[in-house]
Amino acid sequence: VMADRFDAEWVDQAAASGANLISLVPASLAEVDAERFKTILLGGSSIPEDRPPNAIATYGLTESAGGVVYNGQPLRDVEMRVVDGQVHLKSPTLLRCYRDGADPKTTDGWLATGDLGEINEDGILTIHGRAFDIIVSGGEKIWPAIVEAVIVTLPTVAEVAVIGRSDERWGQAVTAVVVPVDLANPPLLDELRGAVKERLPAYAAPHRIELVEVLPRSSLGKILRSAL
């Protein structure tokens, strides 16, 4: 069953009708009853570490025809590598070319994804985020996703997107765009900075906080950082 866009009520009705497999982005996960599904495929950024046991973290892109890496491990016949910090994929599902005829693959079939990540000694891939999403603040590189993963655990934060704002001193100032649980009692900047410093290097802590009622999202529920 295909939906035009995410709608929690529609998902609930589909589950009631017998649907037991679903594909979601992390922002939508909190709005559904995960226990109603046999398996949930999660795609997109900031996939929570404490996700339900039936939720599988997937990685892929349009050029790979969707997810080809599940819980950090490539599917059969899929290869992955990291070159200069950027994830490369080789898969039988990769595109032949773009509509204009341009082929983004190397001569031996590898696709540079534009995503930054690393592969550990057990062969598990971890994605840090899109290369163009990196914040360079005071000469340090900061991946928004890992900062967001910390901030969103605060009880006063409903949603968050971390971006870089132009700043004369830092080059880019780490900025947390926050949807508070209660607009009348929003989180304080010091609260966010303290939480981040407990788990990440101090330079990753936000310099600014911006409060919003909603975050701009695509029809799939992914945050539109370019609109922030």
Q: How confident is the model over 34-60, as a mean pLDDT?
A: 88
The pLDDT assigned to 162 comes to 95
Q: How confident is the model over 144-164, as a mean pLDDT?
A: 93
Using CA atoms in the order 110, 113, 119, 123, what is the torsion angle rounded to 10 degrees?
-50
Q: Hey, what are 31's tokens?
A: 């709005």
Predicted confidence (pLDDT) per residue in 58-116, tens digit: 999 999 999 999 999 999 999 999 999 899 999 999 999 999 999 999 999 999 999 98
Predicted confidence (pLDDT) per residue in 5-19, tens digit: 888 899 999 999 999
* Whole-prediction pTM: 0.70
DSSP 186: P
- Asked if residues 141 and 129 have their Cβ atoms less than 8 Å apart, the reply is no
Q: How confident is the model over 41-67, as a mean pLDDT?
A: 88
- Asked if residues 183 and 213 have their Cβ atoms less than 8 Å apart, the reply is yes
* The Cα angle at residue 56 between residues 146 and 162, in degrees rounded to 5: 20
> What CA–CA distances, in Å, run from 129 to 16, 36, 160, 212?
35, 30, 15, 23
Confidence grade of residue 45 (pLDDT, cut at 50, 70, 90): low
